[in-house]
Structure 1
Amino acid sequence: MTAADAIVLAGGRASRMGGVDKPAIVIGGRSMLDAALDSVRECGEIVVVGPHRPELAARIQQVREVPPGSGPVAAIGTGLSALGPDPSPWIVVLAADMPFLTADTVRELLRRAAESTTDAVFAIDGSGRPQYLVGVWRRSALAAALAGLDSLVNQPMKAIVPTETTSVELPGTGDCDTEEEVRRARETLAATTTRLDLTEARARLVTDLTPLVAYEAHLDEVGGAALAAPIVTAGALPRFDVSAMDGYAVCGDDGPWQLRRDIGFAGGARPVGLLPGEAVRIATGAHVPDGTTSVLRDEFAAITGDELTRLPDTPLRGDIRRRGEDQMVGDLLAPAGTRVTTALRSAAASVEVTSGLVRGPVRARVVMTGDEIRSTGPLQTGQTRDSIGPVLPDILAGLGVHVVDRVHLRDTAHGFDDMLTATAGFDLLVVVGATGGGAADQLRTAIARAEARIVVPRLSMRPGGSTVVAELPTGPTILGLPGNPFAAIAVLLALTPSIVAGRTAAPPPRSLRGPLHNAADIAGPIQRITPARHAPEGGYTGDTSVRTAHLAGLIDRDGLVIVPPDATDGTIVEFLPLQH
């Protein structure tokens, strides 16, 4: 990082909050002063200007502007004078009323300052305003600006701002000047830092995501959707009395029967009615003639000339499926929320129903992030092959999601903002990478700028803790997966069924469970997910370690197991099957 010293202003009167000590207000488990000091921890000398605070580390110099409360320009002047005899060429100036400041914010300001020819670099907050108390100054320019004033007391910041500056939009630079802003900041931090176990995360996805709009569709075209209204039968099943077996339709309980020469075929003409003592050859599914009392199946029948008799010691059975014995017109075939599967489509067709009111299927766009990722062509220095983007559509299809396209997002200043704005044509945005807290991990800040609602802030699980799920105001769900290939696939398998359930207003899927025979060798202090095989005696055997940078650990595995914290051998665990 570019060498710099820091001045932190911590003496504001907070007049709009009744004169409270604003830098000491605790948000997200730490004071706003602590947030500012943590963000400048890599600087050389650090000066805090404000009332003395005995809890601060000894390396932090504390001074007070004179008179106290005489404004930020006076405070900056006091702080600059307090810096030691070996000054750095750059000065970071921060106000201690911004709970979302991070070291990445300061690193980015210093990087821009080193590349710029101007005398100061200031952050721009989410509303587009320059924040003159979140900036980096050339020491010489700051000293000259202060020296050019007759007095530093109660001067506005614009009195010392250079004519030419550089501005950069950065997350976390909004201040807290009112009690309402403090309340919102506390809610935001709670929503973005809480780690959920899978049970709670899934419950939130099922109940908190907004269901898709229902529409009428042909059932053969919407596999993976869910019914938005019940399906009731439009025709009886069977539609008429049919033979349940290949054999003979007979009239009368006791033979012998006189066998006629006509035959009843499924889909063919119905044989004329039987008289007592008559029988006619009939196929499975054929409409039985009037007068039929039962069907004598082939294996129970004996024929001599034109005479049909029942073989000795064979059971008396009807073997006729009567009209409507499975479904009558108006019966409930499937309730709302039922998934549109091959079984549902077939059953609906059998009762003359081919369309219904549905939600879904969920349509997804897959986004691979990072300049280092390359899908095709030879790898250049520093690049790595996209090893999971090509397989995600198949995995998502098996989870009931239809992938509409797959794109690569380069590391640009506004790429994530553009991605979260152009949301037509899909319901789920699957983003691989950029979910952590590093300088290149911009998804979370873009989510905040887009005013998306966080549903799952993070997971209490290894790997996959950096996962985030949010809902955009325009409708689509964002599933932010870790860039690590194994973690991305593990989280995808664990969360996608619940996302589909929430968006289609369907019940959550039933889980597969069984004993994990070597759970004690895998379990840790938090939930873990690892590849596993079916055990010959039933249950599973899990891998005790896995290389997460690729998917080689999934070769010859049957699925993944979710291992609770501190599990013992034989603990019942959830199993996520792999598609092969």
Structure 2
Amino acid sequence: MPNPIPRELLRTADAIVLAGGRASRLGGVDKPAIVIGGRSMLDAALDSVRGCAEVVVVGPHRPDLDARFGQVRETPPGAGPVAAIGAGLDALDTTNPWVVVLAADMPFLTENSVAELLSRATESDAVFAIDESGRPQYLVGVWRREALKAALASLDSLVNQPMKAIVPTETALLALPDIADCDTEEEVRRARETLATDRDSARLDLTEARARIYAGLSPLPPHDAALNEVAGAALAAPILAEGALPRFDVSAMDGYAICGEGPWRLRRDIGFAGGARPVGLLPGEAVRIATGAHVPDGTTSVLRDEFASLADDELFRLPDTPLRGDVRKQGEDSNVGDLVAPAGTRVSTALRSAAASVEVTTASVRGPVRARIVMTGDEIRSTGPLQSGQTRDSIGPVLPDLLAGCGVRVADSVHLRDTANSFDDMLTDTTRFDLLVVVGATGGGAADQLRTALARAEATIVVPRLALRPGGSTIVAELPTGATVLGLPGNPFAAIAVLLALTPTIVAARTATAAPRRILGPLHNATEIAAPVHRITPARYAPEGGFLGDASVRTAHLAGLIGRDGLVVVAPNTGDGGTVEFLPLAH
């Protein structure tokens, strides 16, 4: 475990991040914007100095930059690092004793790196990092503010000066393991490979994987839609009542609208729900009325049928029956402007009904999540007779139903061949879907192309692998377009198990709803099932409550799910009767 970051030390410093330069060895591209490991090199630099009191970025104006970071440009543009440092120092408003200076071309830089430099800063006027080759990196350092001001003031001009022109005589050097800049295409490639390897070596348990998915995926943009057309979506803004409920005073029961004390004279007219409102009642009068009918003026209560006795045209209350109002008053459930449901509420049958009852039929929503299903593998065949070496697609046909049960709407399904670049176009053109569900191609074999395709697409890896049986090769990523990729193992049972375990969290993150509530209960035969990592296996309801799980399952097909009520997620070392999570199956 790394040592805790001394954040109070970071707050004693300001930071200048150099994000300009010509990048001549990279063909003049905007080097700080190059994405490595799912984030730009500028973002890596900014993440390392977020704890500093004030941060200013020197370079071309970046309209999407977080407003907390200042922006300035050296004069003239491209005048070199010394001029850029001078412009950054002039732009700082605070007077903290230390100034961090970083170049935005080091994708491995961390907040701990900056903290270590600051911890050595009191030894001299400046402290600089040394990379693995032993070379000082003068654009990764911490300066005593007054020393930096004096060094800049000693020069007649800051334009096109080398960094050595301002390096103090008294400096300290600190070897740091994460100092490696990217000046060439080869260095960028190696950095991407290194980060991809680091990511892929990490296996997350199901709890950590869900937490990363929920925190790491971007919500869908809001849009206005008819509520009866977006099942599975979630409200992006609260729904407020546009009409009162009830709209007027209505009878809560079948019976008689009465006025005053009984007995009452029964009139011949009748009040029906949706019909004309009976004329007003006089004291001692009653009128037959149906549930939901608008009660006439003068009604003091409704006498329900089971409490009433009728003799000729005279109505009586039966002895020993309770006195009840049985009238629903106008607005007693909600008035105009009352909250019906807050933002983040899922669009369900109950929500649609409640909204319609107060005259709301459209709302601002996120979703529903639209999915494209991608089956991979040259050996997979969905229709027609099987040829030599082929196998039937037994997963693709059931995925739409399973995804629908998770609130996902399937847009289409495709089959990709096992070629080196088969995913590339699909990972860049995501206009028709929000979620790409890929079955297969997630391992490390020669035909498993998804991971390298995600690296080429500069996707952000959210879940690299799972510490789970089955399903360890699962990957979850976010593409630069915002679409989510859920890469499932090609093994049928593993694919279904992981889909049911992760998709509800993906939907919650994309629609900005609360994280899914888990169904928990005792597993009576847990010791037969528990493994060194979380394990998922079919289960059925136990007669006495709780669940009974299958100690073994054939994972190459779904026959093991026949006659089962769902799956159980069994944590390591769970004993008999221990609590497990239950994932219900839609039958």
Give the TM-score, by structure 1 length.
0.68
Instruction: Say which SS state the counterpart of residue 201 (structure 1) adopts.
Output: helix
TM-superposition CA deviations, 1:20-61 (whole Å, max 9, x none): xxxxxxxxxxxxxxxxxxxxxxxxxxxxxxxxxxxxxxxxxx
Q: Which deviations, in whole Å up to 9, do the C-alpha atoms of 1:318-339 show, x marking residues without a partner?
A: 1111111111111110000101
C-alpha contact (below 8 Å) 1:263/1:281 kept by paired residues: yes
Pairing partner for 1:558 from 561, 565, 571 = 565
Change (3 A) 1:266 1:506: same
Q: Which position in structure 2 is the counterpart of 1:116?
A: none
In structure 2, relative to structure 1, the CA distance for the partners of 1:179 and 1:374 (3 Å cut) is: closer
Q: Name the count of aligned residue pairs.
A: 408
- Alignment partners' CA distance in 2, 1:376 and 1:251: 73
CA separation in 2, counterparts of 1:576 and 1:316? 48
Cα distance between partner residues in 1 of 2:290 and 2:207? 53
**Letter paired with 1:251:** C
SS at structure 2 position matched to 1:200: helix
Task: Give, as a single letter, the amino acid of the residue that structure 1 aligns with 2:575.
Answer: T
- Select the residue among 242, 247, 261 that pairs with 1:239: 247
Given the alignment of the two structures, is residue 336 of structure 1 paired with residue 343 of structure 2, yes or no?
yes
Residues 248, 294 of structure 2: 8 Å contact kept: yes
Q: Structure 2: how far apart are the matches of 1:408 and 1:181?
A: 30
Q: Does 1:377 align with 2:377?
A: no
- For each residue in 1:535-554, what CA deviation from the matched residue of structure 2 results, as whole angstroms up to 9, or x when unmatched? 01110000000000000000
Note the C-alpha offset of 1:422.
2.9
Q: Which amino acid aligns with 2:523?
A: L
Structure 1 residue runs without a partner (length 5+) = 1-173
Equivalent residue runs for 1:173-192 within 5 Å: 187-192=195-200
The aligned residue for residue 225 of structure 2 is 217
User: For residues 528-543 of structure 1, what are the structure 2 equivalents within 5 Å?
Assistant: 528-543=535-550
Q: Secondary structure at the match of 1:576?
A: strand
Deviations 1:276-296, CA, capped at 9 Å, x for gaps: 111100000000111111100
1:297-308 matches, within 5 Å, as 297-308=304-315
1:170-319 aligned within 5 A: 187-252=195-260, 254-319=261-326
Show the 5 A alignment for 1:119-130: none
1:417 aligns with 2:417: no
Does residue 509 (structure 1) correspond to residue 516 (structure 2)? The answer is yes
User: 1:471-508: per-residue Cα shift (whole Å, max 9, x none)?
Assistant: 11112110000000000000000100000011111111
Report SS of the residue matched to 1:195.
coil
1:397 matched to 2:404: yes
Once residues 432 and 179 of structure 1 are traced to their aligned partners in structure 2, the CA distance between those partners, rounded to angstroms, is 33
Residues 192 and 454, structure 1, Cα contact 8 Å, conserved in 2 = no
In the alignment, the residues of structure 2 paired with residue 533 and residue 469 of structure 1 have an alpha-carbon distance, to the nearest angstrom, of: 29
Output one character per residue of 1:254-281: Cα deviation in whole Å (capped at 9) or x when no partner: 3101111110000011111111111100
Q: Quick check: 2:527–2:574 contact (8 Å CA) kept in 1?
A: yes
Q: Secondary structure at the match of 1:435?
A: coil
* Counterpart position of 2:361: 354
CA distance in 1, matches of 2:333, 2:230: 26
Q: Give the 3 Å change call, closer, same or farther, for CA 178–435 of structure 1 in structure 2.
A: closer
Q: Does structure 1 retain, via aligned residues, the 8 Å contact 2:418–2:448? A: no
**CA positional deviation for 1:183:** 6.8
Q: Which runs of 5+ in 2 are unaligned?
A: 1-181
Indicate the structure (1 or 2) with the bigger Cα radius of gyration.
1
Aligned residue for 1:488? 495
Moved more, 407-416 or 426-435: 407-416
Deviates more, 1:420-429 or 1:488-497: 420-429
Q: In 2, are the aligned partners of 1:519 and 1:563 still within 8 Å (CA)?
A: yes
Specify the SS of the correspondent of 1:573.
Answer: strand
Q: Which amino acid aligns with 1:370?
A: G
Q: Distance in 2 between matches of 1:204 and 1:483?
A: 23
Query: In the alignment, is residue 471 of structure 1 matched against residue 478 of structure 2?
Result: yes
1:386 to 393, 396, 404: 393
2:243 is aligned with what amino acid? G
Displacement, 1:424? 2.1
Q: Distance in 2 between matches of 1:513 and 1:449?
A: 40
What letter corresponds to residue 455 of structure 1 in structure 2? Answer: V
Alignment-derived partner of residue 95 in structure 1? none
State whether residues 419 and 447 of structure 2, in contact with CA within 8 Å, keep that contact through their aligned partners in structure 1: no
Instruction: Give the match's secondary structure for 1:545.
Output: coil
Classify the secondary structure of the residue corresponding to 2:214.
helix
The reply on whether 1:527 has 2:534 as its aligned counterpart is yes
Q: Is the 8 A contact 2:271 2:288 kept in 1?
A: yes
Partners of 1:176 and 1:182 within 8 A in 2: no
Tell me by how many angstroms 1:354 deviates.
Answer: 0.4
**Superposed, which structure 2 residues align to 1:99-118 within 5 Å?**
none
CA-based RMSD of the aligned residues comes to 2.0
**What displacement does 1:190 show?**
3.0
Verify the 8 A CA contact 2:467 2:534 in the aligned structure 1.
yes
Question: What is the CA–CA distance in structure 2 between the aligned matches of 1:486 and 1:346, rounded to whole Å?
Answer: 37
Q: Is the 8 A contact 2:196 2:455 kept in 1?
A: no
